[in-house]
Amino acid sequence: MAKQLNITVMLGGPSAEREVSLRTGGAVAKALRSLGHIVHELDPKEKAWSLAKGTEVVFLALHGTYGEDGTVQRELDKLGVPYTGCDAEASKLGFDKFLTKQKCVEAGVPTARFMVFDSRSATWPMGWQPPVVLKPVRQGSSVGLQFVDRVADWSAALVEALRYDSQVLMEERIVGRETTVGILGDKALPVVEVRPKSGTYDYQNKYTPGATEVFCPAQFDEETIRKIQAAALGAFKAIGGRDYSRVDVMVRPNGDPVVLEVNTLPGMTETSLLPKAAAAVGINYAELCQQMVDLALRRKK
């Protein structure tokens, strides 16, 4: 039995991913209570929030802007309270897809070819062929994701993606198998493969139970598994990650991994992939939450 702690779970918040965050936070709070902890739930949708008296550690169950981009981390650093997950700088880097790409390139981590656009009137770039993917630079959970299969679709897709941020990342669309790798402590968990039953692994398929088939551990040969995990850990280290994250990796038909992005506060709902990866090595949901708390408390000492 873990020592009883006074824990505040921060959930909800002001981002486009508020609903998912409420689900993540509710599940986390329930699990921590089942372990005997005193748990407060705090929704920082208003700026003037304050932590419950006696809070020893904050469990961040926020997603998207404010929660995942380093903002709340900086506020908690000022309060001197330990919190789960990456620090403010790594959160800022991980949330910004362009900065993550730059860090991966510097560190020699394989990632897809890319460009950044900030104008709705930008024309199709020279030297590129479709298909490409457009992603708002600072949004999570596939919010605003656009697939461009023909040059004729470019302008409408760019305008749509720019609704969600002032910058849009264009990436070559990698054809292959879609995987994700959970990181816990400094170790890569078993590789998870996701296969949407229809369409792509977008916001809808991500959060609709039963819409996506999940295989864990993913069926690759040992050498390919090793390469996928190494790429994921490389990206995690490149942004200065700590405690835990989830790294999305495409795998080309020849087995080469291509890192897409690092999720510094991955979902912890019943359909989420990090808990599935942990379960594959015998760590149940409540134990996973406890380990995340323990990693944060280690810094307090």
Active site residues: 17, 141, 207, 246, 248, 261, 263, 267
In angstroms, rounded to a whole number, what is the distance separating the alpha carbons of residues 60 and 281? 23
Whose structure tokens read 């380990």? 291
Strand runs labelled E in the chain: 6-10, 38-42, 57-60, 114-117, 132-136, 146-148, 168-172, 177-184, 187-196, 212-215, 244-251, 257-263
Specify the 3-state DSSP secondary structure of 4. Answer: coil
In angstroms, rounded to a whole number, what is the distance separating the alpha carbons of residues 214 and 79? 40
Identify how many contiguous H helices and E strands the chain contains and give both numbers.
9, 12
222: buried, middle or exposed (CB in 10 Å: 19+, 13-18, 0-12)? exposed
